[in-house]
Amino acid sequence: MKRQIKSTTNLQNKKRMLVFLVCFFLVTVALIIRLGVVQIIDGEEYKKQAMENWSRDITINAKRGTIYDAKGKKLAVSINSSSVTCFPADVKKAVKTEESTESEEGGGLLTSILKKMNKSFSSVKSSAADSIPKNTKTPEETAKILAEILEMDYDDVLNKITANSKYVVLKKWITDDQVQKIREAQLSGINIIEDNKRVYPYGNFAPYILGFTNIDQDGLYGVEATYNDYLTGIPGRTVVNTDGHGRELPFGYNEYYEPKDGLGVVLTMDEVIQHYAESAAQKVLKDYNAKRATIIVMDPNNGDMLAMTSKPDYDPNSPKQPIDEVIQQEWSSMPDDELQKAWFDMWRNPAVNDIYEPGSTFKLLTTAIALEENKATLNSTYYCDGYVRQIPGENIKCWRYYSPHGQQTLSEAIQNSCNDALAQIGLDIGKDLFYKYLRSFGLEEPSGIMLNGEARGLVKEPANMKDVDVVTQAFGQGVALTPIQLVTAVSAISNGGNLFEPRVVKQLIDEDGNVVKDFEPALRRKVISEETSKIMLSIMKDSAEAGTKQAYRPGYRIGGKSGTAQKVIDGRYVDGKFISSFIGTAPVDNPRVVAIVLVDEPDISIGYYGSTVAGPVAADLLENIMKYYDVEPVYTEEELGKVQAQTVEVPDLLGLSIAEATNKLIKAGLESNITIEVEADKIVKAQFPKAGEKVIKNSMVTLILN
C-alpha cells in the first residue's frame, strides 16, 4: 500500500515537472520570439526612440547671403550671434528624476536591494558623468532665472519652457554676457546655439530695394523676398549626447553638419547715386512740406535700376518702428488691426506698388506716338485759344486759358505744355492706334521688375473710349500708371526705342566672390524708331531749357518734361491736392540716365507746379550724376563766360573730420554731401569731385568715409 502511494506521488511529481518544463519551454520560446521582434522587426524603431531619449538634434541656421551694391559695398549682411533654445520635456524631466530619487530613499526591501546594486556598480561609473553637476530646478525656478537674464516677462518664459512642444526658441540674438550667465546657471533643457542676425549697416538706406527679413531670416519685402531662395542657404545640424536632465555629456557622441551659406546678391544700384537720390527726396519733402517724395534713376541703355527711394521710409533693422518720433507716439496707442495696416502702408513701395495720373509728363509718350506714326512732325503747328473746342459740350481748357499760347510748333507745344495742342495730337492719333502703342510701352502689364507687389497701369480699351477720353488721355488725365512704368517708357524714348525690363540684380556670387549666375538685360520689344527717339530727345532738351527753365543746367544737356496732376482719391479729383513731377534724361546727345521725381501733395502755399517743385530737384540730381560719371560739360560761349565767373576750386578734404570738411566747403562756397549719416568726428577717406577740380559755386561735394 505504501509502495502504491509512493508510486502515485512520484507520478504526480513527474507530471508537475513536465507541466513546469512545458511552461518554461513555452515562456522561453515566447521570450525568444519577443526578443526577435524587439531586435529584428522593431529594432530600428526602438533604436530611434533610444536615440531621441539620449541625444538632441539642433538646427544651425545657414548664414544668409550678403547684398552688395553694383561696386561691392555691403548693404545687407548676416553677423554671428547666439540664441537661446529649450527642450521643454527636459525641463520637466529633471524635476521628475529628482522626485523619483527622493522617493527611493524612503526604505523598503526593494530600495535596499537597489541601493546595494548601485554601490556594486559605483566603481565603474564614468568620470565624465560624475563631473556633470546635478540640476533639479523646477520650471518655475528656471523661468525666473531666465527671465532675469534675458530681460523677458516671467510668464512668457514659463509658458515657453513648459509648452507642449519638442523644441522652442526662447530668445534670438542675445549678448555675450547673457550667454555666459546662462551657461553658468547650467539649466536643464536650456541650450545656447549658433545663430545669425540680419543687419543693414546704413539703416534706412534703400529699404524699398533691399526690403527686410522676419525673425526666422525669411525675406518679406524687396530683394530679400524676391531673391529669398538664393539668399537663404541650407541649414546645418548638430547632434549631441545628453544625460537624463538634457545636459550635454562632455565625452559623448557629437556630430556637426556644417550649414551652407546663401549666395551673395549684387544689385544694379549704385550706392553713391542712391545717396544722391535719397538726399534729394528728403530735401524736397522738407522744403515743400509734402506727404511723400519718390525718385527713380535708371540706365536707359539696359534697364538697370541705379537708384530708387521714397521718403518718408523705414529702417529695415527695425521695420515695425517708424523713424519719426511723433508717428511712434501715435502708433503706441493704435489697436492691433490699425497698427498692422500702418505697417503695410509704411512698407509698400510707391515707385512700384502705387498707380497715379501722370499729368503732363505723359505728353512725351503722346508726342512719340504721333511722330512714329507720322501724325505730327517738327514742322507741325497748333493753335491754342485757351479751350479744347474739338469736343462739343465738354468744358476742357488749357492750363493757360487766361493767356492762350496762340500759334506754336510741336516743340513749342511741349515746352508750353499746351493741353489744346495735345488734344489735337491725340485725336489725330485715334483711339485704336493710341491704345496699341500704350500697350507696346508696357502700360497694361507689369514692368517685370523683380520687386514684390507691382501694380498694373490702367488704360481704357478702344471699345470703352470716347473722343473726350482720347483728348484727356493725350495730356495725361484718365490714364494711370506706376512710376516704374513711366521710367521704362521714357527710357525707351531716350535709348533709340528699346523697351527693357527694369533690372535690380545683375549677379549671384559665392562666398569667394565667384560669379554663380548672371542676370542679363532683358529687351522686351522695339517700341519706336531711332529717328523718332532722336527727335524726342531734341524736344525734351528744348522743354527743359526753354520750357521748364528750372531744369536747365549749363553744359549738361538735360532733357525732360514736368507735370502737375490733380490727385484722384476714391475716383474723384480733389481740390488743393497735387502730384508734382518731372522726368528727365541726361545727356541728351548720349543718354546715360533717366530720372523721375514725384512730390506727393506739396504744400500749395509754397508751390505745387511740377516745373518749380520737382524740376530743380531732378536737374540737380542729374547734374550730380553726370559729374559722378565724369561727363564733361559742353558750354556755349555765353554759358562758358557765366560759368567761369562762378567757378571755384574744390579743396582737399582727405583726413579731415566731417565737421572740419563741412566748414571748409562752406568757406569755399560749396555744399557737403556724405554717403552715410555719421558723427561729426568721423574722418573723410575719399571725396568727389577730387581736390583741385573746378566746379560751379554751390555745387555738391560728396564725402566718403569708407
Query: In this model, does residue 680 exceed pLDDT 70?
Result: no
What are the angstrom distances between the C-alpha of 109 and each of 102, 116, 120, 542, 609?
A: 16, 11, 17, 108, 99
DSSP 8-state secondary structure symbol assigned to residue 506: E
What are the angstrom distances between the C-alpha of 634 and each of 238, 495, 561, 697?
A: 65, 21, 21, 17
Q: Which of 98, 105, 171, 167 is nearest to 138 (CA)?
A: 98
The pLDDT value recorded for residue 130 is 34
Query: In this model, does residue 643 exceed pLDDT 70?
Result: no
The pLDDT value recorded for residue 114 is 38
- How far apart, in whole angstroms, are the C-alpha atoms of residue 220 and residue 230? 14
Pairing of β 254-257 and β 236-241: antiparallel
DSSP-assigned beta bridge partners for residue 669: none
Contact 357, 479 (CB under 8 A): yes
Q: Which of 158, 52, 147, 139 is nearest to 98 (CA)?
A: 139
How high does pLDDT run on average in the chain? 84
The pLDDT value recorded for residue 249 is 55
- How far apart, in whole angstroms, are the C-alpha atoms of residue 587 and residue 557? 5
**What cell does 397 get?**
481748357
The pLDDT value recorded for residue 318 is 92
pLDDT confidence bin for 118, thresholds 50/70/90 = very low
Ramachandran region, residue 368 (left: φ > 0; alpha: ψ -120 to 50; beta: rest): alpha
Least confident residue range of 55-64, 319-328, 350-359, 671-680: 671-680
Per-residue pLDDT reduced to its tens digit, 372-391: 999 999 999 999 998 888 88
- Between 137 and 103, residue with greater pLDDT: 137
E-assigned strand segments in 300-363: 304-311
DSSP 8-state secondary structure symbol assigned to residue 556: S
Mean pLDDT over 404-420 rounds to 92
User: In terms of residues, how long is the chain?
Assistant: 706
Contacts of 553 (CB under 8 A, 6+ apart): 619, 620, 622, 623
DSSP 8-state secondary structure symbol assigned to residue 391: S
Mean pLDDT over 132-155 rounds to 79
- Between 391 and 208, residue with greater pLDDT: 208
Mean pLDDT over 673-683 rounds to 63
Per-residue pLDDT reduced to its tens digit, 52-92: 555 566 666 778 999 999 999 999 999 888 888 888 887 87
- How far apart, in whole angstroms, are the C-alpha atoms of residue 452 and residue 231? 16
The pLDDT value recorded for residue 4 is 59
The pLDDT value recorded for residue 405 is 86
Query: In this model, does residue 310 exceed pLDDT 80?
Result: yes
The pLDDT value recorded for residue 109 is 41
Strand, helix or coil for residue 109: helix
- Between 641 and 621, residue with greater pLDDT: 621
Query: In this model, does residue 99 exceed pLDDT 80?
Result: no
**Scanning the structure block, which residue is given the C-alpha cell 513546469?**
20
Q: Which residue type occupies 643?
A: V
- How far apart, in whole angstroms, are the C-alpha atoms of residue 423 and residue 398? 10
pTM for the model stands at 0.78
Per-residue pLDDT reduced to its tens digit, 537-578: 999 999 988 766 778 888 888 999 999 999 988 888 898 999
The pLDDT value recorded for residue 197 is 86
